[in-house]
Amino acid sequence: MGLPDPHYVAPAAPSPAPVSIWVTPRVLHIRAILVLGVTAFATVGAAVAFIGAVTGADYMLGFKRLLDLNGERNLPTWFSSGILLAAAALLGGLAADTERPHRRAWVFLSIVFVYLSLDEAASIHEMSNAPLRALLHAGPALYFPWIIGGLALAGIVLAVEWRMLRALPRRTAIAFVASGAVYVAGAVGFEELAAPLYARHAHPVVQAALLVAEESLEMIGVALFIVALARYWTIDRTALTFDFAEASPRTARSSVVSLPPRTVLRALLVAAAALAAVNLTLQSIHFLTPLHMPRLVRLFDLAREGNVPTWVQSYTLLGCGALAALVAFAEWQHRSPFRVHWALTALFCVYLSADEAASIHEMAVRPLRSAFHTGGLLYYPWIVVGAAAALAVAVASHRFIRSLPPRTRRTVIIAAVVYVTGALGVEALGGMYAETHGQRNLTYGLITTVEETLEMAGMSIAAFALLEYLRDHIGRIRLSIAA
């Protein structure tokens, strides 16, 4: 046997082909989830709205703000915005097929639903009411003049999508139009009926009934549209492949969505930096110059809820929940001992998403401050509860975290530290400043910008960790819908 050549380099072993995990929800399951969600939020929201209208109760221990269908920045709004975004995702899945007929129409409709989701969360259309009311000298009958723009948008969407509708199966086209009609009837029709009562502050119970009908019909319309879309996925045999590698090969009639971890991380961090820059620019103009723009500042204020940054943060967290759910599904198939931990991680991300949108934790501020007379670093006393919850989660998940691959474990710990530093540490400093100087000033805006930017960075790093884990330990995910 001869000596080995010192200059010889062994060829690299071929990398194993990625494994494809099939995720195939049934239309029946999608419909059941939507029915349960719409029924729960509509029923509880209607009950809270009517109790408030009849009794005049305004706070109800915080539950009126949290559950009222007629309010914003709460759980019904988060749910409504979320199902609109889910519809946009299903539309995007159809548009991902580059060979699809009328692909531009599918893309346009997906963009419309993304905007509707953002508008539901941030109430962008309501910003036009005051200037349009003054411009048109609108009376009580047109107290919500944004309706004109809403009808125009509905007409534009119908005109753009008409050719695609005619090409669809008849049952699908009818279902699309019917669900759109239900949505517009709620968003425009019942809001217009409630406008004169709202303008005159008359008949609060009737007004509440009309506005509850409005929000319920909007949710029902979107739910019907999602079910129709799911059925069309089964008819069209749509299969969507999520690939987490840097390059995603495409095959005929098989849509591939590439989610490279570094690219996604870079995009999320750029979005966080952009939101922080816009917020600081608008606040600087508002507080340091004679040009005041309260509506525009509110729309991008990182210290407030129900606006663009909140929408981005909430659905970034929900996206992390979806990625964790994909890992949980794959680990369940492999009978992993930590599959339940992955499922709980997904649910925890869903809760954080809802909390970000509806400020659930802030319900504890008033009673805790009254009971313990907190101030200084505990001006927002929910921080104590948040710190205790974070510690409990860390202790409970200790074995799970140790079981992760070293790279994933380090990244997850970094994400948690960055997020908690912003959510608890910088929040405590902001509370101490707000107690003395208030919240409506540029310095407080700077503090909250640091706080929210750290939270967004933590979310982005968590998404990066999940995408890397999917790439290195799971493989591709193939999504289709079964009848």
HEC-encoded secondary structure of 179-227? HHHHHHHHHHHHHHHHHHHHHHCCCHHHHHHHHHHHHHHHHHHHHHHHH
Longest CA–CA span in the chain (Å) reads: 100
Any domain includes 248: no
| pLDDT (0 to 100) of residue 364 | 85
Instruction: Examine the domain organization and report whether 217 and 270 are in the same domain.
Output: no
Residue 305: per-residue pLDDT: 86
- Say if 5 falls within a structural domain: no
Q: Report, as ranges of residue numbers, the positions in the chain whose pLDDT lies below 70.
A: 1-19, 247-254
Dist CA 244 CA 410 (whole Å): 20
| Residues 446 and 362 placed together within one structural domain of the fold | yes
Amino acid of residue 425: G
Same domain, 201 and 265: no
pLDDT tens per residue across span 130-170: 888 888 887 888 888 889 889 999 999 999 999 999 999 99
Is residue 11 included in any domain, yes or no? no
Residue 389 lies in a domain: yes
Q: What angle do CA 255, 30, 122 make, to 5 degrees?
A: 85
pLDDT of amino acid 245: 87
**Best CA proximity match to 114, nearest among 137, 95, 132:** 95
Range of the domain at 64: 20-236
**180 and 304 co-located in one domain:** no
Is residue 231 domain-shared with residue 278, that is, in the same domain? no
Q: How many domains does the chain have?
A: 2
> Are both 268 and 356 inside the same structural domain?
yes
Question: What is the reported pLDDT for 2?
Answer: 44
Q: What angle is formed at CA 281 by the lines to CA 278 and CA 284, rounded to 5 degrees?
A: 145
Q: How many CA atoms lie within 13 A of 434 on its CB side?
A: 19
Quick one: CA torsion of 224, 228, 231, 237, rounded to 10 degrees?
-140
Are 72 and 186 found together in one domain? yes
One domain, residues 419 and 318: yes
Pair 115, 179 in one domain? yes
In a domain, 136, yes or no: yes
User: Do 328 and 361 sit in the same domain of this protein?
Assistant: yes
Does residue 256 sit within a domain? no
pLDDT value of residue 13 = 37
Residue 243, domain member (yes or no) = no
Residues 6+ apart with CB under 8 A from 96: 240, 255, 256, 257
* 319 plus 409 within the same structural domain: yes
> What is the pLDDT at residue 247?
64
Residues 229 and 268 in one domain: no
Instruction: Record the pTM.
Output: 0.92
Look at residue 274 and tell me if it is in a domain: yes
